[in-house]
Amino acid sequence: MGQTSETSAQRTGAHVKRAVQTLFREYSIFFIFLLVCVVITSIRPVFLSVDNIFNVIRQVSMIGIMSVGMTFVILSADIDLSVGSVAGLCGALTAGVIARQGLPPLVAIFLPLPVAALLGWVMGIIITKAKVHSFVVSLGMMSIARGLALVYTKGLSIGNLPKEFGALGGGMVGPIPIPVIIFAAFMILGYLVLTRTPYGRAIYAIGGNQEAARLSGIKVDRYRIMNFVICSTLAGFAGIILASRTRSAWPAAATGWELDVITAVIIGGTSFFGGRGGMVGTLIGALFLGVLRNGANLIGVSPFYQQILIGTLVVIAVVIDRLRQRRTA
Amino acid sequence: MGQASIGTPAVSTFSPDHVTPVDHQLLVEMTGISKRFPGVLALSDVTFDLRAREVHALLGANGAGKSTLIKILAGVYTKDAGVIRLRGHETEIRSPRHAQELGIATIYQEYNLVPDLSVAENICLGHLPKGSSPLTKFIVSRQQMNRHAERILRDLQVDISPTIPLRRLGVAKQQMVEIAKALSLESGIYIMDEPTAALSSKEIEELFRVTRSMRDRGCGVVYISHRLEEVGMLADRVTVMRDGRCVDTLAAENAPTSRLVQLMVGHSVERAARHPGCAPGAKLLSVDRLSRKGIFEDVSLDICEGEVVGLAGLMGSGRTEVARAIFAADRADSGEISVRGKPIRVKSPNHAVREGLCYLPEDRKKLGLVLSSSVRDNIILASLARFCRFRIAGKGIWLDQHRIRKEVVERVKSLDIKTPSIGQFVESLSGGNQQKVVVARWLCSSARIFLFDEPTRGVDVNAKSEIYSLVRTLAAEGAGILLISSEVEELVDACDRIYILRQGRIVAELLRDEISKEAILAAALTGTTGEDGGRHRTQKEDL
């Protein structure tokens, strides 16, 4: 009797030990994140206030929504550089149909999404059927989408949008900003899709070994195209939230965001070579990005140094990923 | 010091005027060579020599030790025991680079050429001629390089311009460049590893001519090939290897094909009792005149319910390619495939899986497994749709974790896959267990036709027998199995019927009573089964 309880205790211990090991291995970045939070709090306790926490999350929510789609793309060993431009284009389109056509905001915020989806689909088709690397195709699309935004706005910004439109990006439900709710919803949805659907499991297999996935009967091309459609659509949606938050749109909106988005995914431990990582990591990655910027501002670190910090973090994350692969290979 | 004394004659052998008066000077003498790999004695006390002015053919079935021996000579492996003398001097060959410096040039099956460089650059790569003044020391002298390349190509009497990019040449011409590259090292000792594998018969003639001219200018050539008829056409002497030993060395004129086959096969070994065969049921799969240009031609075969059908052949005979084409992993140019008598046009592996086919690839790490995923994810990969709970428009959208867990644990247990948990990454499992994971994946799917390509490669003895007993069980349950293996004994033990491929064609079909190691090897090597029986398939029978 005593023996059995002892072994079961041992077994629990082993379980806990293994869980902690996995946590360390898979989410080593999580502990660095916690450490950074503790350090910031000890210097500026206001960091931990509810207002500030929501402030941080709201600031990263648009990057965060885009990084949900980017996680899909990077997990299957592709890359999408066009997300910033697609976000800018969709913001401009929404603002345009409200200001020029006078459409009600509730309709206008959904109109550009099919455009974003179409751009993603086109990229996916070219990448899979013509077998061109996604880096090149999305690099081209980055320029095309930005160009479309410039053409549509004639290079001018669109401002003075109605107040109701501002609700999407600036509104609150109780103490929680609406963008935070949307961000959380997409994160959870993305997490469930990745872990619980055939599509999600196929993405991991495609990123881990595309040929093995194909030989197992996975429709590799179809899923990769789907990734780009999802990634583009979410980018477009984030762009609309951005336009709503500022109640204006300008053609250069969200320029360079693709780098922040990729940074969030990579910091979150998703392997740049596909097959490893996931939504939890991306959530931490996106939050980390926000916390660093917010914390640095609170402490009074110059934005110039923030750049250096974030860059260092990206490199550390990738080095950790390499080490992890070497250890298990 | 030793290097200099060896280096000098290496250069001189290139021009016939300087060849030493002794016509049959020994270039290479290998005596008592042994090499052990973990668990196998790859070479045991092998003796081999190569004279100047000769082509010495090296024969043997897969795994006989030819390539190990050659790799020792080329500096890729180091020998465990034995002595190598080069031109009379005892030498330790330390690395491939060292072998090159010693005047040993290897022409491999896969060409070591850079497609985007010119022919001349490829030929001179590694020793590009440079200017002599301090200013031009770092600049390649194109003129000199092109002249050098042109001279070598002219000596070979091949019509290739030194300045055109390599990628514009066909396979045969590229091979000539590879040979020219080896010649430009002015080596004296050449190793050619299955140089004719990718060539047409006309190109082979050209290659023979070049090889003979290499011989006539005093070089020695070690020539490895699976095609026995080439021995009589080209070689002066033949050495046959079997099971890591040198069986015999004889003059080519005393070596008729039948004698060579006999030497390669050796004495027949009494096998343990084979499994009791079961009566095959209805036709599951039939393949009719499947062809893929330049790879295989008019391959027709049938697999019935409850039958284990072997597909034998030497390396490069097209075994894997046939299986991949049936599974639609590669596109076939023509031919028909029917499943249960119903003709189907399989468009993709996905389609093939839905038709109840499955393919276990030869290279499990590259093609079979998702190494970065867990045992569970690898096992359910081919049957994701089956594990779904909710369906929209017939497509599953939600995985039933509970059922997955239950079924995967069951599979892991029944196949005895040794893993700490089903969440373990497959990359940390042993080879045998990894292979069982791939097998489990197909057992989970609804496959009824199993195409197993080298299922026991790199797997320990225990796992091997487990995999074969599984194959038998599958057959007993009514599945049809196509088994590809390089291990002839395993085919003899496991198969009800064996097709033999040679150079992309099925040359024989052995029924149960006709199956023997000798018959398989004879057909694979020569295209006929000899007196052992076995239906020699003629064109008529195929039609």
**B372 touches A208 (CB < 8 A):** yes
Q: Is A311 on the interface with B (CB under 8 A)?
A: no
Q: Is A327 on the interface with B (CB under 8 A)?
A: no
Residue B512, token pair as written in the block: 């149960």
Burial of B11 (0-12, 13-18, 19+ CB in 10 A): middle
Residue reference for tokens 């090897």: B521
Coil vs helix vs strand at A158: strand
Burial of A172 (0-12, 13-18, 19+ CB in 10 A): middle
In a domain, A1, yes or no: no
Q: How many domains does chain A have?
A: 1
Residue reference for tokens 């052998």: B13
Contact state of B349 with A329 under an 8 Å Cβ cutoff: no
Residues with Cβ within 8 Å of residue B170, at least 6 apart in sequence: none
In a domain, A10, yes or no: no
Phi first, then psi, for residue B530 (nearest 5°) are: 70, -145
**pLDDT given for residue B19 in this prediction:** 41
Looking up residue A303, the CATH number of its domain turns out to be: 1.10.3470
Residue reference for tokens 């069982």: B436
Element (H, E) at B190: strand B189-193
Using alpha carbons, select from B358, B365, B380 the residue that is nearest to residue B459: B365
Cα separation, A321 vs A325, in Å, equals 6
Which residue numbers in chain B have pLDDT < 70? 1-24, 38-39, 62-63, 109-111, 197-198, 267-280, 529-543
DSSP secondary structure code for residue B395 in this structure: E
Cα separation, B499 vs B509, in Å, equals 4
- Residue A107 to chain B, least CA–CA distance (Å): 27
- Residue A205 to chain B, least CA–CA distance (Å): 6
- Give me the residue from A196, A207, A215 closest to B398, CB to CB: A196
Q: Is A203 on the interface with B (CB under 8 A)?
A: no
Chain A residues in contact with B359 by the CB 8 A cut-off are: 215
| CATH code 3.40.50.300 for B2-103+187-265 | yes
Cα separation, B487 vs B504, in Å, equals 19
Query: For chain B, how big is the Rg over CA atoms in Å?
Result: 26
Residues with Cβ within 8 Å of residue A53, at least 6 apart in sequence: none
In chain B, whose CA is at the least distance from the CA of A275?
A: B372
Using alpha carbons, select from B505, B527, B502, B524 the residue that is nearest to residue B289: B505
- Residue B488 to chain A, least CA–CA distance (Å): 27
**pLDDT tens column, B61-91:** 766 888 889 889 989 888 999 999 998 889 8
Using alpha carbons, select from B296, B288, B359, B349 the residue that is nearest to residue B323: B359
Sign of the dihedral through C-alpha A148, A154, A160, A161: negative
- Residue A301 to chain B, least CA–CA distance (Å): 39
Q: Is A219 on the interface with B (CB under 8 A)?
A: yes
Tell me the sheet residues that pair with B302: B286
In a domain, A24, yes or no: no
Contact state of A214 with B369 under an 8 Å Cβ cutoff: no
In chain A, whose CA is at the least distance from the CA of B363?
A: A212
- Give me the residue from A197, A204, A211 closest to B397, CB to CB: A197
Contact state of B352 with A218 under an 8 Å Cβ cutoff: no
Chain A residues in contact with B385 by the CB 8 A cut-off are: 198
- Residue A211 to chain B, least CA–CA distance (Å): 6
Sheet containing strand B449-453, edge to edge, reads B357-360, B449-453, B480-484, B308-312, B497-502, B505-510, B535-536
Chain B residues in contact with A219 by the CB 8 A cut-off are: 348, 350
Same fold, B2-103+187-265 and B283-356+448-542: yes
- Residue B333 to chain A, least CA–CA distance (Å): 20
CA distances from B199 to A287, A299, B294, B399, B473 (A): 60, 72, 10, 51, 42
Beta strands per DSSP E along B60-129: 81-86, 89-90, 104-107
Residues with Cβ within 8 Å of residue A73, at least 6 apart in sequence: A79, A80, A134, A227, A228, A231
**pLDDT given for residue B109 in this prediction:** 65
Residue B82, token pair as written in the block: 């034995």
Q: How many CA atoms lie within 13 A of B388 on its CB side?
A: 21
Phi first, then psi, for residue B506 (nearest 5°) are: -80, 115
CA distances from A291 to A155, A188, B181 (A): 34, 21, 60
Q: Is B373 on the interface with A (CB under 8 A)?
A: yes
Chain B residues in contact with A208 by the CB 8 A cut-off are: 370-373
Contact state of A217 with B354 under an 8 Å Cβ cutoff: yes
In a domain, A218, yes or no: yes
**B155 touches B205 (CB < 8 A):** no
Residue B182, token pair as written in the block: 């080896």
Chain B residues in contact with A215 by the CB 8 A cut-off are: 327, 329, 349, 359, 361, 367-368
* Alpha carbon A299 to its chain's center: 26
Contact state of A216 with B399 under an 8 Å Cβ cutoff: no
Using alpha carbons, select from B167, B164, B166, B168 the residue that is nearest to residue B146: B164
- Residue A10 to chain B, least CA–CA distance (Å): 16
Cα separation, B349 vs A296, in Å, equals 53
Contact state of A218 with B381 under an 8 Å Cβ cutoff: yes
Structural domain boundaries enclosing A130: 31-39+46-328
**pLDDT given for residue B537 in this prediction:** 42
- Residue A202 to chain B, least CA–CA distance (Å): 7
**B283 touches B340 (CB < 8 A):** yes
- Residue A224 to chain B, least CA–CA distance (Å): 15
Contact state of A217 with B368 under an 8 Å Cβ cutoff: no
Interface mutation vs chain B, best among A21, A196, A199, A215, most B CBs within 10 Å: A215
**B478 touches B281 (CB < 8 A):** yes
Task: Count the Cβ atoms, other than its own, within 10 Å of residue A272.
Answer: 16
Residue reference for tokens 């069951």: B410
**pLDDT given for residue A25 in this prediction:** 66
**B307 touches B496 (CB < 8 A):** yes
Task: Count the Cβ atoms, other than its own, within 10 Å of residue A280.
Answer: 17
* Alpha carbon A210 to its chain's center: 23
Cα separation, B98 vs B366, in Å, equals 32
CA distances from A8 to A19, A22, B154, B420 (A): 16, 21, 80, 17
**pLDDT given for residue B512 in this prediction:** 83
In a domain, A175, yes or no: yes
**pLDDT given for residue B543 in this prediction:** 32
**B371 touches B432 (CB < 8 A):** no
* Helical residues (DSSP H) of chain A, grouped into ranges: 2-26, 28-43, 50-75, 83-99, 105-108, 112-129, 134-153, 167-170, 178-196, 198-208, 210-215, 220-246, 257-267, 279-299, 303-328
Using alpha carbons, select from A225, A219, A215, A190 the residue that is nearest to residue A202: A219
Domain boundaries, chain B: 2-103+187-265, 111-185, 283-356+448-542
Class assignment of domain B283-356+448-542? alpha beta
Residues with Cβ within 8 Å of residue A46, at least 6 apart in sequence: A52, A298
Using alpha carbons, select from B349, B290, B286 the residue that is nearest to residue B482: B286
In chain B, whose CA is at the least distance from the CA of A211?
A: B367
Contact state of B329 with A214 under an 8 Å Cβ cutoff: yes
Q: Residue B160 is which amino acid?
A: I
**pLDDT given for residue B273 in this prediction:** 42
CA distances from A235 to A81, A90, A121, A176, B453 (A): 11, 8, 13, 22, 44
What ipTM did this prediction achieve? 0.86
Chain B residues 352-371 with CB within 8 Å of chain A = 352-354, 359, 361, 366-371
**pLDDT tens column, A211-225:** 999 999 999 999 999
Element (H, E) at B161: none
pLDDT tens digits in sequence order for chain A, 329 residues long: 444 444 666 667 777 777 777 666 666 778 888 999 999 999 999 999 999 999 999 999 999 999 999 999 999 999 999 999 999 999 999 999 999 999 999 999 999 999 999 999 999 999 999 999 999 999 999 999 999 999 999 999 998 899 999 999 999 998 899 999 999 999 999 999 999 999 999 999 999 999 999 999 999 999 999 999 999 999 999 999 999 999 999 999 999 999 999 999 998 989 889 998 999 999 999 999 999 999 999 998 888 888 898 888 888 888 877 777 665 54
Cα separation, A312 vs B95, in Å, equals 41
- Give me the residue from B352, B385, B427 closest to A198, CB to CB: B385
In chain B, whose CA is at the least distance from the CA of A216?
A: B382
Residue B95, token pair as written in the block: 């690395």
Chain A residues in contact with B382 by the CB 8 A cut-off are: 216-217
Chain B residues in contact with A196 by the CB 8 A cut-off are: 398-399, 401
Tell me the sheet residues that pair with A74: none
